[in-house]
Amino acid sequence: MWRFSKTNSITEGLHNKMEMISTRAYGYRSFKNYRLRLLDVCS
């Protein structure tokens, strides 16, 4: 971080959202529904 002024906070934030959804996604029957949920939350 000291050498470069840019961080990967946006990527880490999206990854955190995906992790939260995947822990709640045990009720999804198909990958299509999971993908649609990810696109809804992360867009």
Instruction: Quickly count: other Cβ atoms within 10 Å of residue 7's Cβ.
Output: 9
In a domain, 4, yes or no: no
In a domain, 3, yes or no: no
Q: What is the pLDDT of residues 1-43, one digit of tens each?
A: 567 677 788 888 888 888 887 777 666 778 888 788 878 877 7
Containing domain of residue 23, as a range? Answer: 9-42
Buried b / exposed e along 9-42 (16+ C-beta atoms within 10 A): eeeeeeeeebeebeeeeeeeeeeeeeeebbeeee
**How many domains is the chain partitioned into structurally?**
1
**pTM listed for this prediction:** 0.53
pLDDT of residue 2: 64
